[in-house]
Amino acid sequence: MMGVVDPVAARLAVPLTLPIGIGPSPAHAAQGVGFAEMLQAGIQAVDHKISNSDVLVRNFTLDGSVPIHQVTAALEDARMAVEVAMQVRARLVETYRDFMAMQI
Amino acid sequence: MDAMAISRTALDVEWQRLQVIAQNLANENTTNAGGDGPYRPLRLVSGPDAGFEQLVDANGVQSRPVGVRVVGLEPLADGARRVHDPAHPHADADGFVTYPNLDRAAEMTLLIRTSRAYEANLTAMTIAQQMYMRALDLGRR
User: Residues A14-37: pLDDT tens digits?
Assistant: 555 666 665 555 554 555 678 888
Helix, strand, coil shares of chain B, percent, nearest 5, are 45, 20, 40
Closest by Cβ to A10, choosing from B59, B125, B140: B59
Whether B123 contacts B2, CB under 8 Å:
no
CB contact under 8 A, B140 and A87: yes
Provide CB contacts within 8 A for B10, sequence distance 6+.
B67, B68, B117, B121
Check residue B131 and give its pLDDT: 92
CB contact under 8 A, B61 and A18: no
Chain B residues with CB-CB distance to A18 below 8 A: 63-65
Count CA atoms closer than 13 A to B41's CA, side-chain side.
24
Distance from the Cα of residue B39 to its chain's centroid: 18
Predicted interface score ipTM higher than 0.85: no
Provide CB contacts within 8 A for A86, sequence distance 6+.
none
For B33, left (φ over 0), alpha (ψ -120 to 50), or beta?
Answer: beta
Check residue A99 and give its pLDDT: 93
Q: How many CB atoms lie within 10 A of CB B124?
A: 16
Annotated domain spans of chain B: 3-28+42-75+103-140, 30-40+76-101
Interface of A with B in 4-23 (CB under 8 A): 10-11, 14, 16-19
Looking at chain A, which residue has its C-alpha nearest residue B13?
Answer: A67
Q: What is the full DSSP assignment across chain A? A: --SSPPHHHHHHHS------S--SPPHHHHHH--HHHHHHHHHHHHHHHHHHHHHHHHHHHHT--S-HHHHHHHHHHHHHHHHHHHHHHHHHHHHHHHHHT---
Rounded to a whole number of angstroms, the distance from the CA of B44 to the nearest CA of chain A is 17
Q: For each of chain B's 141 residues, which pLDDT tens digit applies?
A: 789 999 999 999 999 999 999 999 998 888 876 667 788 889 999 988 877 666 666 565 666 788 899 999 998 887 788 889 888 888 888 888 888 888 889 999 999 999 999 999 999 999 999 999 898 888 776
First to last CA, chain A: 78
Check residue A4 and give its pLDDT: 56
Check residue B61 and give its pLDDT: 62
CB contact under 8 A, B133 and A17: no
CA distance B80 to B92: 14
Distance from the Cα of residue A76 to its chain's centroid: 13
Interface of B with A in 7-26 (CB under 8 A): 8, 11-12, 15
CA distance A39 to A70: 28
B95 secondary structure, DSSP code = S
Closest by Cβ to A84, choosing from B11, B61, B136: B136
pLDDT in tens, A49-96: 999 999 999 999 998 788 899 999 999 999 999 998 998 899 999 999
B70 secondary structure, DSSP code = E
Closest by Cβ to A67, choosing from B15, B129, B133: B15
